[in-house]
Chains A and B, each alone.
Chain A
Amino acid sequence: MIPGNDKACVLLQEIGLPAVRLTPITAEVIGCNELFSSLVDPATSVERRLWFVEGVLPGINAADRAAWQIAFARRTPVQIHVEFESVEGRTLEFEMRSTVSGGRGEVTESVLCVFISLTTPVFERRCDARLSEGQELERTRMRDELHRGVSQQLLGAAFGCKVLAGKVAKLNESLGKEAAALAELVNETVNELQSLVKSNQT
């Protein structure tokens, strides 16, 4: 995804906050705003997807980096100190807040990192409220995607498996049992996804 296409990042850009969205596990950049891209020295990494790994992580001290990596692996929010170097060679200090969009195991799960400049603390109070707005926007997006996509397809699959299990059982008892087990597995997945849908709507 190119900078400017991610709704949450665009919103954060409007209030002056650099932001980047990452894939879980590999921390590849899948979306960001222009403020973020202006912080990263393009010389550090040619590939946009590696902007975070090669352009941000090196600016984090060892202790903070370890804390971030643990939080990243556990999908928990974290706040750490990050430094960038300006074009003029000045050190730019930021607090980086990371949060996970979506629940554990979701296909659309991603990690959103927002950078708050420590040189303008008055701005921080404003951004807290706007960050909540960004999270709400994200929840809405997830809910809509769940409804339009995964939920609907899984519903069809659950009924399809039942139909198949019924037909196969008439032809072959052993295969019928396997098909029934598959249908049950899909049922369990349906129940898990439904819990997720409900928790996303409360």
Chain B
Amino acid sequence: MVENHEDTVRYMQLYLQQLGYEVAVAADMAKALLEIPQSQCDVLISDIGLPDGDGWQLMELLGTNRPRFAIAMSGYGTGNDQRRSRDVGYDHHLVKPFTPDALLALLHQAEKMKENLP
């Protein structure tokens, strides 16, 4: 999870851990670029507004190291924002605020996708 808002990170991480997910957190793009390639994570959940760049740049810079499933989070949800997220490779663009159930539904999609992989 790439997010720099402390409360959001804290509670999202606790929630996901409570459900049994293993969560690694990066507060900025630089740290995410260092850690994601080594972490072999299944899902990337990234804020679009990051202190040292944005979630779109992050996906582009990750290149082939990007996880198989990626979810963008943003307070902005115009058609352009959503299109740009899709264009760089995010599977979904969640507009903040969103409910825990909305995130969980996407994680279930990611699990199904992983199960269907050859």
Contact = CB atoms under 8 A, between A and B. Distances in A.
Interface string B9-49: 01110110010000000000000000000000000000001
B14 A187 contact: no
Nearest to A166: B18
Given A163-B11, A163-B18, A166-B18, A158 B97 contact: yes
Contacts of B10: 156, 160
A158 B78 CA distance: 23
A126 interface: no
A163 B99 CA distance: 13
B98 A190 contact: yes
Interface residues of A, number: 27
Q: Which range contains the number of B residues in contact with the other chain?
A: 20 to 34
A191 to B, nearest CB: 7
Secondary structure type dominating chain A contacts = helix
A148 B8 CA distance: 12
Interface of B: 5, 7-8, 10-12, 14-15, 18, 49, 75-78, 95-101
22 contacts: A143-B76, A152-B8, A154-B97, A155-B98, A156-B7, A156-B10, A156-B12, A157-B7, A158-B100, A159-B14, A159-B15, A159-B100, A160-B10, A160-B11, A162-B15, A162-B100, A163-B14, A163-B18, A187-B99, A197-B96, A201-B77, A202-B78
Q: Which 8 A-B pairs have the closest CB atoms?
A: A147-B75, A156-B7, A159-B11, A160-B11, A155-B97, A156-B8, A163-B14, A154-B97
